[in-house]
Structures are given as C-alpha cells and as structure tokens.
Amino acid sequence: MSSEDREAQEDELLALASIYDGDEFRKAESVQGGETRIYLDLPQNFKIFVRGNSNECLQNSGFEYTICFLPPLVLNFELPPDYPSSSPPSFTLSGKWLSPTQLSALCKHLDNLWEEHRGSVVLFAWMQFLKEETLAYLNIVSPFELKMGAQNKVQWRTAQPSPSTEADSGGAVGSNAEDQEEVVDERAVQDVESLSSLIQEILDFDQAQQMKCFNSKLFLCNICFCEKLGSDCMHFLECRHVYCKACLKDYFEIQIKDGQVQCLSCPEPKCTSVATPGQVKELVEAELFARYDRLLLQSTLDLMADVVYCPRPCCRLPVMQEPGCTMGICSSCNFAFCTLCRLTYHGVSPCKVTAEKLIDLRNEYLQADEANKKFLEQRYGKRVIQKALEEMESKEWLEKNSKGCPCCGTPIQTSCVCFVTSSVTTSESSEAGRL
C-alpha cells in the first residue's frame, strides 16, 4: 500500500466519522472498512400497499399503510490496499424492502460512479447517491406495492422504469419479477422470511423512528404554556395534539378519581380524541390505573346489550344473556334470575310489579308504540297492565275530587267534608248547652 493511498483512506474514514453519527457510520476494527446505514427521506404521505390475495377475484383487495420512514439500506465495504489509486472498494448492499433486482441495479450504478471518480475517494458520493437518488433512480412512487408471488417469494411492483434506469440496468429495475428472469448481483443481499414479517418490520421501524424524532423536538404545552422536549410530552394518536406529561398526569388522575374514565379525551376544546389505556398506564400510579381499568371495563359492559349484572348485592358480576332468553345464570354464585325484573327466575309467568313501579309502568305503557305495548303485556301480563291503568285513574280522580280526612287521611269528597264539619260543630254546641 502506497503512503498516498493509506493517507487518502484514513482521511476519508475520518471525514465520514465526522459527518455521520454512530448509527449511520461505523468504522471496522480489524480491517480498513466499515458499515454505513442510509436512511432515505420519503415524500410526505408515502404509502405502501399490500395485496390481501393474488386471486383474480380479490385483485383489488389489500391493505394500505402510510409511513414516514423505511428501514435503512446497509452498505458494508472494505478498502483494498491500492484504493483509491487503482481498485474500487469491495462492498455488499442490503435492503429488506428492495428486491434483489433493484439492489443489483444500485450495485451497478455504484460501479459506474467509481468509474467516474476513479483515482479519488468515492464512498461519500456513493452514500449521497443512495440517500438522495435511490427512489428516483428505481422509479419508486407512492403507493409502493408489495405482494406474495409464486413459491412464497416476496415481489415488488413499481411503476415502469425511467429512461435513465433502463440504460443502466437493461430495463429490469421497475418491472414485475413474474414477467422476467431476474439477474442478481452477488453483492446484492436481500433477506426476507415472509411478506408478513417484512410488513411488520417496516411498521415497527417506522413507529420507532417517529418516536425518536418526536422525543428530540420541542413542543409548547397548551396547559402550562411551557416548551418541553418531546421525551417529556405525550400526543393523542388521532388528533396529534401535544401536552406535557406532568399536566396530563394531573388531568388523568382527577378524571379517574371522579370515575370519569370515558372522559380522558384531549384537553383541546371540541376535540374528541381519547387517550389509549397504554398512555394512561404510562402516566398514573398502578393503583389508580387498576381503578381506571376496572371502571373502563364496567362502562364498556354497560353499553353491551347482551350483558346484565347479577342482582345479588354481594355479587354484581356481569352475566352474558342468551339471545331471546330472559333467564340469566351467574357463573360465580349460580343464581338464576329473570333478566327483565332482576328477581328469581319465574319461567313463563309474568314479572311481578311492585306498587311503587305501577306509576312508571303505566307511563311507559301509555307512551309506547304498538310493538312495545305487546312486549310489556307479555312481560307483565295484560291484567297487571290493566290494573296499573285503573289504579292510576282512581288515584288521579281522588286527587282531583277529594281531600284527605284530617284524622285518618282517608280520601273524602269535599261536600262530605263540609257536612262532617258542620255536624261536629252542632254536636259540640249541644253538648255545651247541656253543661
């Protein structure tokens, strides 16, 4: 190795280490070389599309995901002794979301860049090309479609290649792998177990990178009006409104203590976004979260039409109600009860009605439509319904046309009251005359 080549290599590796952080560039310890990770800048609202089935009748079915980040391309290189004066770096290029044909096309273009820079260092030019021009060079546009092809091999579909890519790769960059035999460069490394694992890896990486970016930014909390790092903040997933964790912690604790577990919504006025259980668990103490979890489950069960609660005061556990059946059996205490009146199950006999409930039953019956009237008659029986109506009519007549006796409270007519009053007065006067 000449001293000039040695010095050029050392300077290049030192420059790369100063330009890129430890996650993007790592120098090898045993050889003159290293590893670079190239993170691409995706267009806004970039989408990947996954077909649900290759069957023709389901050709249009599938799932679409909007992402901000894709896993990096990884360039591993080793510098030969006569680099850069004579030989290029030896390298491998890997990327999970690119096909072997696409990776091969990129390898070929890296060779072309070396020919253009022969005699001078080329690693920085390679990295800049991969970072800034990969999508355009391979003609990758949104939505970027992935699907499972023959023999469970992952295939990539993109738009037709641009003229520049056709010239470099023989027109094989953006075309469908089913229509042609792929020419794979041995330096192209593409290791994907299955389509589902690839999609999961892409989504996990995207989420992790979004969180990393969020944690490094400053946000203004609209509760305390202080600027804080994203690592000290939390955002609601639907609306993306951001508040500091200290303010949200106090807000969540007050709501949970008041039993308002359904109201852990975004503090922004008129915003309906709700905090997830995971976000609540991150902020509040374990004991308070247990209360939140219990109340949330109970409120959810209350909204389910096929769930009733055991009427025993010592139990009160939820019971699943069979469709069309009025009997419920508690799995804890084995109490069989009527799901309508909450009393002991009475079979086909009508539900019993207490005197206090007659008023409510009468009002409910008068306001019901024909279908609900028939349901009430089947539930309580026609005689009970008729009794409720007669009882209320009698009560209303007595309230309108009578008064309560001052001695015993029995309803009496107004005319009778006058007669009784006058009779009492006369008898009292006669008794006084005798004395």
Q: What is the pLDDT of residue 49?
A: 87
Question: Alpha-carbon distance 9 to 15, whole Å?
Answer: 10
Please count the residues of the chain. 435
Which tokens belong to 105? Answer: 């096309």
Q: For the residues 182-210, what does the mean pLDDT come to?
A: 86
Give the separation between CA 368 and CA 46, rounded to whole angstroms.
Answer: 54
Given a cut of 90, is residue 408 above it in pLDDT? no
Beta-strand relationship, 227-229 and 218-220:
antiparallel
Task: For the chain, report the end-to-end CA distance as a whole number of angstroms.
Answer: 149
What's the mean per-residue pLDDT of the chain? 79
- pLDDT (average), residues 42-49: 91
Answer with the residue of higher pLDDT: 261 or 35: 35
- Mean pLDDT (whole number) for 23-40: 91
- What confidence score (pLDDT) does residue 152 get? 47
Residues contacting 104, CB < 8 A, separation 6+:
169, 182, 183, 184, 185, 188
pLDDT band at 61; cut points 50, 70, 90: low
Which residue has better confidence, 287 or 373?
287
For the ranges 38-42, 48-52, 178-182, which has the lowest average pLDDT? Answer: 178-182
pLDDT at 47 over 80: yes
Eight-class DSSP state of 94: E
Q: Is the pLDDT of residue 245 over 90?
A: yes
What pTM was computed for the model?
A: 0.59
Is 3-206 CATH 1.10.3720.10?
Answer: no
Is 80 exceeded by the pLDDT of residue 159?
A: no
- What is the tens place of the pLDDT at every residue in 314-350? 887 888 777 767 788 888 888 888 877 778 888 877 7
Task: Return d(Cα 131, Cα 111) in angstroms, integer.
Answer: 16
User: What distances in angstroms separate CA 9 from CA 36, 119, 413, one per listed residue?
Assistant: 16, 12, 117
Catalytic residue among 213, 271, 416, 418: 418
pLDDT the model gives residue 419? 45
Torsion sign over Cα 362, 364, 367, 373? negative
Domain spans, the chain = 3-206, 218-290, 350-401
In the predicted model, is pLDDT for residue 361 greater than 90?
no
* Half-sphere exposure for 363 (CA within 13 Å, toward CB): 5
Q: What are phi and psi of 388, to 5 degrees?
A: -65, -40
Report d(CA 50, CA 56) in Å as an integer.
15
Q: For residue range 66-109, list pLDDT tens digits in order.
A: 999 999 999 999 999 999 999 999 999 999 898 888 999 999 99
**Better pLDDT: 178 or 130:** 130
Per-residue pLDDT band for 168 (boundaries 50, 70, 90) equals: very low
Contact 140, 156 (CB under 8 A): no
Separation CA 189–CA 97 (nearest Å): 11
Which CATH architecture is the domain 218-290 placed in? 2-Layer Sandwich (3.30)
Active site residue 418: yes
DSSP string, 366-392: HHS-HHHHHHHHHHH-HHHHHHHHHHH
